[in-house]
A = this chain, B = another copy of it.
Amino acid sequence: MLPSSTVENYLKAIFLGQSQLTGAQRLLPMGQLALSLGVAPGTATTMVKALAESGLVEYEPYNGVRLSGAGSRLAALVLRRHRLIELFLVQVLGMRWDEVHDDAEQLEHVVSERLIERIDEVLGHPEVDPHGDPIPSREGEVVWRALDSLLTCPLHTPVTVMRVTDQDAAFLRFLEKHDLKPGQSIEVEARDEVSDSVSLKGKTDQRITIGMRAASKLLVEVR
């Protein structure tokens, strides 16, 4: 029985939700799942119970849900398709990185194995998508790269933007406008808790100050 688009979306949401979680439990609460999927809480409960039936997740009533091995593998494959498609749309079709998410969201559920492997080949087996998100392997494995965010990296040190953990189009356009796309090199000049802000110095010495919430979404690596 191949999974429906709905099932794939649930698995993906659990996968992504779980990856935000700290702690060994990795139990994603129903409310959070329902919110990220845009469904009513009861709907999520019902669906998760069904997923548990088919062995794709482990469900602890009132506590939350966690992917099983099989579920995790399936979710990673959905993500693999999504990210390859995003990169393809940008690289081959010349679409902007802030406008490919919705198309990829649809396409990820219908591209055949053959087609996605073709795309992977044309792209030269890339490791990350346009946002720096890692592309899971054909086998459903993801390489988790430990990265600092702009909140945790050292000050006055050149760092390279590696990944952006927010797909919002306006936010992405903002990053593009200020040369903060993955690959760019920057330095954190200062952080200030009180004003909730982080000051950056760009390559050509432009300065820019952003909020901490935004700063937390930019992952970097010390060079």
Interface size class of A (residues with CB under 8 A): 10 to 19
A95-B107 contact in complex given A102-B112, A112-B102, C-beta closer than 8 Å: no
Residue-wise interface mask of A (78-119) relative to B, using a CB-CB cutoff of 8 A (1 in contact, 0 not)? 000000000001001111000100110011011110110011
Please state if A115 and B89 are interface contacts (CB–CB under 8 Å).
yes
Determine the residue in chain B with the shortest Cβ distance to A110: B106
For A115, give the chain B residue with the smallest CB separation.
Answer: B103
Given A94-B118, A118-B93; A110-B112 close (CB under 8 Å): no
**Is A208 part of the contact surface with B, judged by Cβ < 8 Å?**
no
Docked CA distance A95–B110 (Å): 17
- A110-B106, A111-B107 are contacts. A92–B92 as well, Cβ < 8 Å? yes
- What number of copies of this chain does the assembly contain? 2
User: What's the nearest-Cβ distance from chain B to residue A132, in Å?
Assistant: 23
Measured CA separation A115–B99 after assembly (Å):
10
Answer yes or no: A40 CB below 8 A from chain B CBs.
no
Q: Which residues of A contact B (CB under 8 A)?
A: 89, 92-95, 99, 102-103, 106-107, 109-112, 114-115, 118-119, 122
Known contacts A95-B114, A103-B110, A109-B110, then 15 further A-B pairs from the complex at CB < 8 Å, ordered by chain A residue: A93-B115, A93-B118, A93-B119, A93-B122, A94-B118, A94-B122, A95-B118, A99-B114, A102-B112, A103-B115, A106-B110, A106-B111, A106-B112, A107-B110, A110-B110
